[in-house]
């Protein structure tokens, strides 16, 4: 469990994290969302004791990071996958971490196995690693102390689809074991597939702390996907009752406005056959983009980013 209470971080005049309170609970993957500059990395650094808070507090398993007897056993993190010294082998990097934290050396082989890094590769210099292998090594380091809490900043950055799917499944399985998994990503489609819960911030402040499902359902406009052998007729009909109709990525009509029953009845009344009529919600990406455009919190931040 991670608990932030009125957590604040100021850099000179700038408030990067502003009285932020939230709880990241065990047993589920919690996604951390916010536009660039919202304060996600700063918050993660505060949790990990890499930066001192200007106000408030944050604890991991009830303790401030600096009070954890063996930090790596309580919390594992991946903040920058390129953090490994290029001249050392992955194996030595992990063995060094294990030794300095009183973790048995056999755990190195366990985590290498867990992240799918072959022993021969792990003995070679990390400098020759691909981004994907570097990411696996970073995750191996995060897992070495078998921690209850995992914090990962953009873990899928630069990975191919296979690597992305692997991280997704790993995060879910770690959460299913009862661990606390806190994860930031700017890839909304991936976040939607991975996270059960969301904490959304803007300009260092809390905007939402809710389940993925609630976040999408509360903020999305329901729409209906319709297919018909007479698409133009149906479109004209729907537009005549004020519906917004556009082509869906799959070639059907995406209809905003009337619900599925109204559309079905309308088609029947005009003798039009329907081959599909599906009520659906927006994706996380659509909801998040709409929120970004409508919220002052977000807009101000994005404009600042654009002006930089
Ligand atoms: P995010 O991870 O959401 O993109 P950050 O936590 O990196 O956001 O940054 C939040 C704000 O704090 C930004 O305006 C950033 O410029 C500022 N900031 C972050 N780190 C520092 C620092 N070391 N010194 C000064 N300002 C910083």
Instruction: Determine the Cα–Cα distance for residues 204 and 217; give it in Å rounded to an integer.
Output: 24
Report which ligand 1 atom has the smallest distance to the Cα of 45: 6
CB 244 within 8 A of CB 218: no
Ligand 1: residues with CB < 6 A are 11, 14, 16, 34, 36-42
Dmax over CA atoms of the chain, in Å, equals 76
What strand order describes the sheet that includes 276-280? Answer: 244-247, 253-256, 223-227, 276-280
Q: Categorize the per-residue pLDDT at 83 as very low, low, confident or very high, splitting at 50, 70 and 90.
A: low
- Whether residue 305 is predicted with pLDDT greater than 60 in this model: the reply is no
The mean pLDDT of 121-144, rounded to a whole number, is 84
User: Which residue, judged by its Cα, is nearest atom 21 of ligand 1?
Assistant: 11
* pLDDT the model gives residue 283: 87
- Distance (Å) from CA 166 to ligand 1 centroid: 29
What DSSP string runs through 65-100? GGG-SSHHHHEEEES-GGGS-TTSBHHHHHHHHHHH
**Burial classification of residue 9, based on how many CB atoms lie within 10 Å of its CB (0-12 exposed, 13-18 middle, 19 or more buried):** buried
221 Cα–ligand 1 center, Å: 33
| pLDDT value of residue 57 | 97
Shortest-distance atom of ligand 1 to CA 42: 6
Cα separation, 74 vs 56, in Å, equals 21
> Given a cut of 80, is residue 87 above it in pLDDT?
no
| φ, ψ at 168 (rounded to 5°) | -60, -50
Query: Is 70 exceeded by the pLDDT of residue 13?
Result: yes
Q: Which atom of ligand 1 is nearest to the CA of 35?
A: 3
Q: Ligand 1, residues 10, 11, 40, 305: which to mutate, most atoms within 8 A of Cβ?
A: 11
Provide the pLDDT for residue 84: 57
DSSP 146-206: --SEEEEESTTTT--HHHHHHHHHHHHHHHHTT-EEEEE-S-HHHHHHH-SEEEEEETTEE
* pLDDT tens per residue across span 269-294: 999 999 999 988 888 988 888 877 76
CATH fold of 222-280, please? Alpha-Beta Plaits (3.30.70)
Annotated domain spans of the chain:
2-214, 222-280
Any idea which of 74-78, 84-88, 126-130 has the lowest mean pLDDT?
84-88
CA distances from 128 to 101, 132, 154, 162 (A): 27, 11, 22, 20
Total count of residues recorded for the chain: 308
Question: Which CATH architecture best describes the domain 2-214?
Answer: 3-Layer(aba) Sandwich (3.40)
Burial class (CB in 10 A: 0-12, 13-18, 19+), 105: exposed
CA of 151 to the centre of ligand 1 (A): 18
Separation of alpha carbons 160 and 164, rounded Å: 6
pLDDT at 281: 81
The model's confidence at residue 171, banded by pLDDT at 50, 70 and 90, is very high
Mutate to test the pocket of ligand 1, among 4, 13, 14 (most ligand atoms within 8 A of CB): 14
301 CA to centre of ligand 1 in angstroms: 12
**Over the stretch 190-219, which tens digit does the pLDDT of each residue have?**
999 999 999 999 999 999 999 999 998 888
Fold match between domain 2-214 and domain 222-280:
no
């Amino acid at each position: 469990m991670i608990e932030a209470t009125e957590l604040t971080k100021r850099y000179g005049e700038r408030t990067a994290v502003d009285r932020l309170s939230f709880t990241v609970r065990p047993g589920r993957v919690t996604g951390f969302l916010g536009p660039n500059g919202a304060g996600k990395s700063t918050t993660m650094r505060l949790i990990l004791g890499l930066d001192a808070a200007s106000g408030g507090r944050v604890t991991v398993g009830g303790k401030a990071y600096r009070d954890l007897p063996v930090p790596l056993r309580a919390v594992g993190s991946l903040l920058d996958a390129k953090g490994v010294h290029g001249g050392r082998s992955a194996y030595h990097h992990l063995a060094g971490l294990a030794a300095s934290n009183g973790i048995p050396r056999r755990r190195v082989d366990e985590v290498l196995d867990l992240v799918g890094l072959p022993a021969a590769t792990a003995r070679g210099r990390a400098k020759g690693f691909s981004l994907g292998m570097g990411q696996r090594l970073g995750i191996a380091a995060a897992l070495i102390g078998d921690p209850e809490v995992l914090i990962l900043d953009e873990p899928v950055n630069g990975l191919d689809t296979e690597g992305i799917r692997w991280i997704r499944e790993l995060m879910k399985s770690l959460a299913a074991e009862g661990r606390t998994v806190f994860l930031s990503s700017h890839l909304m489609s991936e976040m939607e597939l991975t996270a059960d819960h969301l904490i959304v911030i803007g300009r260092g402040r809390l905007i939402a702390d809710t389940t993925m499902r609630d976040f999408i359902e509360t903020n999305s406009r329901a729409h209906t996907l319709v297919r018909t052998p007479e698409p133009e007729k149906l479109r004209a009909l729907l537009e005549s009752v004020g519906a917004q109709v556009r082509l869906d990525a799959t070639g059907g009509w995406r209809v905003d406005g009337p619900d599925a029953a109204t559309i079905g009845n309308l088609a029947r009344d005009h003798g039009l056959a329907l081959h599909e009529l599906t009520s659906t919600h927006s994706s996380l990406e659509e909801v998040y983009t709409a929120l970004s455009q409508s919220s002052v919190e977000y807009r101000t931040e994005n404009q600042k980013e654009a002006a930089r």
